Structure 1
Amino acid sequence: MITFFTACGVDHHQEKELAYTDLVDRLMNMKSLAVLPKKGEKSAMWSSYDRDSKIDRAGNYIDWAANIDGLRPQYIRKEGENEVLAEMQGPGAIVRMWSASPKKGKVKIYIDDQEQPVIDESFIDYFKPSIPAFDFSELVYETNAKGFNNYVPITYNKSCKIVAEPGWGQYYQFNYITFPEGTKLEVFNPELADSHQKALSEVNSFFKQNMGESPYAEEGFKTTSKTVSLKPAEKKSVVLEGTGAIAELRIKIQHKTAKNFPELLRKTSISIKWDGSEESAVWSPLGDFFGTSPGWNEYQTLPMGMTKDWMYSYWYMPFEKGAELIFENEFQEPVNLQIEIKHEKLTDNIENYGRFHAKWHRDLKPLPKERWPDWRLLETEGRGRFLGTHLLVWNPKGGSCSLGGPGYYWWGEGDEKFFVDGETFPSTFGTGTEDYFGYAWCDPSEFERAFHSQTQDNDNMGYQPVNRWHIIDNIPFQQSFHGYLEKYFPNEWPTQYAAIVYWYLEPGGEDNLEEVAMNDRYGYEIPFEVFRKDSTRVVEGENMKIVSNSGGWGTTENFANEKLYNTVSGHKILLWFPQKDKENSLQAQFAWPQSGHYTIYANVVKTDKGGNFDLFLNQKKLGSLDLKSRDTLTTKKVLLGTINLKAGIQNLKIEANGEVVDHPQPIKLDYLEFEKK
């Protein structure tokens, strides 16, 4: 196993000189995270957020729900035809880049007032092995869920400016960290010195081959193993004495194959108290604490995960006067836990370290109306570091990306907004909830990487559990951290959030999150039954496969407008835009199980600006669709014709009929219905 630092070695974040390898070490140095930040340490982000959102001098929130991220001007300013995307003063380092749609236009990174850029590549190539510094597949990648990410540190001492040429793409985030004044950083070289190459390769290899294993060196640790058997309504503790730190916490649950296992994980809780405190610094339902819910979802990231048998945590948890881990069973049956704790004596000055906090909550006190749609994630006072969150979304209806008031967005539209040390405007202002978690375009696909994951795929219509860990990009604060996620859908939609937040806080800092009663943490989800047509009679548009497209954009993953949810089956449609001066033919395939002679109907969405389309099935023209309606938005079932079908794969072709204008209206096909003659 590869290891990168010893059990007692730690970077106290106060060195006046930092080698590039020191920055690479921070990609997985879990112990270093526990060190309280020095003055001058900062973390912030430039992004393509909608700049109509402002806070005026009087403290009023102006257009705070603005949501045209990436479509309004998404830059600081223009220099000729080029756009300045980010501008930082050093010493510091870019530690994360993200985009939903990087294109071929060049993006140039200038450091330390140099006339020539240190990197000059097409933006899409920032997420490929285009230069030696980006040739690390676990640090530079596109997730299964369409998000482009780059975690290779890029250092600078005086300044950094990121400039984009026309055609660079759409949507961006650049996370950066700033070091105390006077810190000197080794200059970044995209060709990589041998030592830099070696350091990045070792991290990349660990993430690729050893993910889920401990990132700590083995020497110096003591293992405490306990079997804790809990009767219903019983509570038991595991106690560690003296001054030390927990580095690994692993828990196995016997009989985890039970049908009601998700209930067990939510009704069994873990809490941790440090230094004899009466108050818990950690409290969470047991499963949620380990970064996924509901139930047992196997995944592996750097600090947290669930394997076939074990849940694991590698957060470093220092204490001065002992630690008490408390397990409580509010489940109706006995719960048996096998617990392994690796811990060490702490030889460094305990004053350097914060205490680990992790709290689960649902809906905290709502903010004033002018703050809509902000949803409280964490508000804490004191000195510490924000480490990230596990968010569980309950969203059974799905949701479109249409614009409007409450309830007219897909749940993932909400930006993250992080205010540090009393900022009047957030130094981190995101572009979308899914963007914060490292993916894009509403894609529900499962993925797991070192710093983020999505552990279930319910097609955006049910549970959506997502994680984001801030390791090298942790957010230090000296006085306070106030973090929010925008939540456009109200609970009654129903769209409901539950989150566990992780952070370090100095002893005596303010953690006002409390334990959550059973009725509010289990069975709180508002049920909803999605309208669906009989699957033996229809083929849903979203279940078709697009095999060719000579027109504009087409997808089978689009949600209909929410106003049509009582008449659009499954809430999703096949959506296709014809495009001016193109052939405009789309072909899709689907399977039909039974041969016969059928009358075929199409359920379509019609608008006051609808177009005309011809439909062909297996090369036979079925009929034409006139999608224009006096109503602004309606659905209609249209008779197409009759046809003989053989069981197997069927080929559907859609062609635009008539002139295609500059702003054509799409076809929105809900389903084809087959009535056997």
Structure 2
Amino acid sequence: MKKSYLLLLPIILFSLISFKTLLDNKIISIDSLLQDMTDRDNLARFPESDYTCAQFSSYDRATVAPDQDGWFANWDRSMFIRTEKRGDKNEYVMMDTSGPGSIVRFWMTFAGKDSGKGILRIYLDNNTEPVIEGSAMEILSGGILADSPLSASVSQLTKYEMRGHNLYFPIPYAKHCKVTYQSDNIKDAGAKTGGEAVYYNINYRTYKKDAQVISYSAEEKNNAKKIAPATANQLAQLQKTINVPTEKHALTGEIKPNAKLSFSFKGSKAIRKISIKLSAKNLEQALRSTVLNITYDVEGNQKSATSVWCPVGDFFGTGYQLREISTWYTEVSKDGVLSAWWVMPFEKNCTVSLLNLGKQNVTVSQGEVEIGDWKWDENSMHFGTHWKEYYHLKTGEMKNNSGMVGGPFDLNYVTLSGKGVYVGDAVTLFNTVYAWWGEGDEKIYVDGEKFPSHIGTGTEDYYGYAWCRPEKIIGHPFIAQPDGSGNFVPGYTVNSRYRSLDVIPFKTSLKFDMEMWHWTRATINFAPVCFYYLQNGKDQNDKPDIEGAKRAVAINRTDIISPVIQYNSKNKPVSIQAESMIFENADGGEFAYDNSEKYGWADNMEANWSEAKMGNKLNMVFMSKADCTVPTKGIFTIRNNSGKFKFTLNGKSTIIDLTGEKTTLKTVDLGAVKLNKGKNTISVEVIDVPPSKNNTVEFGFDQLLFGLAKK
């Protein structure tokens, strides 16, 4: 009998171990993933179901290493892993990976004739037949798999073919996943000879090998018919209910310059919601110069390794201008109340402060912090932010798609060490050119990677929309563009991406670089903020950008690019470049800035007015410090598609003939011109259009040069 008991003991122990393994390894399915998607508490604990998050994309395959040519290659389209045959058709492989895992975010857009109409197929667990098959747009945003916003295109204000298509419905797999696209319109890799251009980003999780994953199937999708609509509805309605009892604490009052409002909490608790409404004479400046600072678990003079330090407007996703917005984590109401639902746990204590780094009094007319209980455990993490403004950032100078002058560069969003989860970011910027402000790709390195496991296809693709479109996105749970008016013209833009199932866990480090790659050279203000949870770690760039928060915000282009004449050491006018002038309006044609090293333009740039027709007028303005009369010359660009113009400066007109066969500069004597203290006006009128296909002309304006001033 004793021997029998001894024989049974290993079996019992094995059974207990197996049972514990099942308890430890939660079954991962469509159901469980959809439930996790709306559970904000999950973000604040390091994932028990150990996984990595990475990305497949159509990034330019010439991008190999930072020290090699091609690191900033930007032909990020129709790049696939390989081509396979399905019958007599080409099937382009976009993703191929071993499981267990799950697709957690899938973004695409297209260009070219009949684009987006190809067949998207998803094969799971090495099966030869796809479990999902159909038109790419129908699968990603057409509602075949789920209702909006789990399956949606943005912006709804944008023409459908110019939208980004986003699928957040999870597709788990136990062993393997392959995603392909079939289209007869694809001619070659990169669509370099025309045809359909396909852009894609696929975020996916890979779990540890013994993870219990139930693969997607029609049956599993049907089993999730209750939770899927409920999740979609909850996200669509942006229901920000708090599921635990909370205490509400008021945070109101006037904050004088260099002062703060502050209060502290003790115990194991979590901030569940913060709401703030600011008022000030200069509200835009107050939104930037009033800083939200949250510290946790400080003992004596010891500072917490992780904290929130971020200008109020940037933290809540509106930047320094109030814009209505509603996401799963943030909200800005019509009446200016800013709210956030990030869960921020602490073990022993927490201090919430509003710092006024500006020069004016700021009133917190409404303010409230909701605190609820939290059971601190070994997986609990602190919530942190990293914010910085890159002031007067000089971006890349490009000739065309195949050659670079000047050059792009990688801009660091954040570098973190330790164990944590990356949960989102936003950027607030002011653009100064009549062109798209950013074409760069995200490059995210996890746990010391030499090559980023996340490398994308463009800034707007990362933020979920497409084609630099300026239309607003204000009601999606995870992506937002409350203002895109600075996307094509000088102005203000805010982009946000918040993560749910596509959060990025890291065990030792995370580095996020955003490539700055511009179609034309530009000077912009660019302020990213990153959101993360961290455990026993550190933000490697944790010095607060106090000067950035204090600095005057840009409301107009002239706040960054001065329209004032340049003067010499004797305070005499010397010159003004055309790209520094204020473009007021044109009754036809397209206004922009060209930049090139080819033609000898001052600072390699000119103001360019193209597709102008007979009689069209262009109006520009510059500023002078004093009244004076000066000999004046203008430098213009002769082109083979140019014509004759009447150029009027402060009422004095000169006929300028810019017709010619070769692109070159032409200096025109404009005579003695009276400059006015303050505003000076230029009017350009098309008076002769040489015969051409479209009967339009191009006007290139480099600069004005001034001689010795006469009083």
In the superposition, the TM-score normalised over structure 2's length comes to 0.71
Match runs of 1:150-229 below 5 Å: 150-166=167-183, 167=185, 169-190=197-218, 193-209=221-237, 211=238, 213-217=239-243, 219-229=244-254
Alpha-carbon spacing, 1:242–1:120, altered in 2? closer, same or farther (3 Å)? same
Secondary structure in 2 aligned to 1:60?
coil
The alignment status of 1:99 with 2:108, answered yes or no, reads yes
Alpha-carbon spacing, 1:520–1:371, altered in 2? closer, same or farther (3 Å)? farther
Candidates 439, 449, 456, aligned match of 1:430? 456
Is contact 2:430–2:486 with CA below 8 Å preserved after alignment? no
Candidates 567, 578, 582, aligned match of 2:607? 567
Q: 1:339 Cα deviation (Å)?
A: 2.4
Candidates 459, 472, 475, aligned match of 1:446? 472
Residue in 1 that maps onto 2:133: 120
Report Cα offsets for 1:210-258 as digits up to 9, x if no partner.
x2x42432x42222223243222212321111011111111122xx3x5
Secondary structure in 2 aligned to 1:54?
coil
Aligned letter for 2:55?
M
Residue in 1 that maps onto 2:6: none
Residue in 1 that maps onto 2:421: 385
Report Cα offsets for 1:403-445 as digits up to 9, x if no partner.
xxxxxxx422100000000111100001001111111112111
Match runs of 1:228-377 below 5 Å: 228-253=253-278, 256=279, 258-276=280-298, 277-279=302-304, 281-307=307-333, 308-337=335-364, 338-347=366-375, 349-363=376-390, 373-377=409-413
Is contact 1:608–1:629 with CA below 8 Å preserved after alignment? yes
Between 1:418-427 and 1:190-199, the stretch displaced more is 190-199
Alpha-carbon spacing, 1:183–1:567, altered in 2? closer, same or farther (3 Å)? same
Aligned letter for 1:223?
K
| Aligned equivalents of 2:236, 2:373: Cα separation in 1 | 31
Q: 1:183 Cα deviation (Å)?
A: 1.4
Alpha-carbon spacing, 1:309–1:392, altered in 2? closer, same or farther (3 Å)? closer
| Aligned equivalents of 1:358, 1:534: Cα separation in 2 | 39
| Aligned equivalents of 1:90, 1:599: Cα separation in 2 | 64
Aligned letter for 1:275?
D
Alignment gaps of 5+ in structure 2: 1-21, 186-195, 395-405, 564-578, 619-635, 644-657, 667-683, 701-711
Q: 1:291 Cα deviation (Å)?
A: 1.6
Aligned letter for 1:251?
I
Alpha-carbon spacing, 1:479–1:342, altered in 2? closer, same or farther (3 Å)? same
Secondary structure in 1 aligned to 2:251?
strand
| Aligned equivalents of 1:380, 1:508: Cα separation in 2 | 7
Alpha-carbon spacing, 1:163–1:193, altered in 2? closer, same or farther (3 Å)? closer
| Aligned equivalents of 1:501, 1:379: Cα separation in 2 | 10
Alpha-carbon spacing, 1:137–1:469, altered in 2? closer, same or farther (3 Å)? closer
Residue in 2 that maps onto 1:674: none
Match runs of 1:57-72 below 5 Å: 60-70=67-77
How many residue pairs get matched? 559
| Aligned equivalents of 1:224, 1:520: Cα separation in 2 | 26
| Aligned equivalents of 1:541, 1:288: Cα separation in 2 | 36
The alignment status of 1:140 with 2:152, answered yes or no, reads yes
Q: 1:61 Cα deviation (Å)?
A: 3.9
Max radius of gyration: which structure? Answer: 2
| Aligned equivalents of 2:40, 2:536: Cα separation in 1 | 19
| Aligned equivalents of 2:210, 2:51: Cα separation in 1 | 12
Residue in 1 that maps onto 2:649: none
Q: Percent identity?
A: 27
| Aligned equivalents of 1:508, 1:631: Cα separation in 2 | 57
Secondary structure in 2 aligned to 1:506?
strand
Aligned letter for 2:594?
N
Is contact 1:104–1:169 with CA below 8 Å preserved after alignment? no
Is contact 1:28–1:215 with CA below 8 Å preserved after alignment? no
Alpha-carbon spacing, 1:65–1:668, altered in 2? closer, same or farther (3 Å)? farther
| Aligned equivalents of 1:387, 1:486: Cα separation in 2 | 20
| Aligned equivalents of 1:300, 1:275: Cα separation in 2 | 31
Alignment gaps of 5+ in structure 1: 1-11, 400-409, 543-557, 576-597, 613-625, 642-653, 658-665, 672-677
Is contact 2:80–2:93 with CA below 8 Å preserved after alignment? yes
Secondary structure in 1 aligned to 2:231?
helix
Alpha-carbon spacing, 1:504–1:533, altered in 2? closer, same or farther (3 Å)? closer
Between 1:490-499 and 1:447-456, the stretch displaced more is 490-499
Alpha-carbon spacing, 1:490–1:172, altered in 2? closer, same or farther (3 Å)? closer
Report Cα offsets for 1:563-611 as digits up to 9, x if no partner.
5964325xxx669xxxxxxxxxxxxxxxxxxxxxx972589x9998879
| Aligned equivalents of 1:627, 1:438: Cα separation in 2 | 45
| Aligned equivalents of 1:207, 1:85: Cα separation in 2 | 28
Alpha-carbon spacing, 1:313–1:524, altered in 2? closer, same or farther (3 Å)? closer
Alpha-carbon spacing, 1:32–1:327, altered in 2? closer, same or farther (3 Å)? same
In the superposition, the TM-score normalised over structure 1's length comes to 0.75
| Aligned equivalents of 1:37, 1:83: Cα separation in 2 | 34
Residue in 2 that maps onto 1:77: 82
Aligned letter for 1:66?
A
Report Cα offsets for 1:109-156 as digits up to 9, x if no partner.
10111111011112222234352x134355322324522211111111
| Aligned equivalents of 1:104, 1:83: Cα separation in 2 | 14
Aligned letter for 2:608?
V
Alpha-carbon spacing, 1:67–1:492, altered in 2? closer, same or farther (3 Å)? closer
Q: 1:517 Cα deviation (Å)?
A: 2.3
Is contact 1:396–1:463 with CA below 8 Å preserved after alignment? no
The alignment status of 1:21 with 2:31, answered yes or no, reads yes
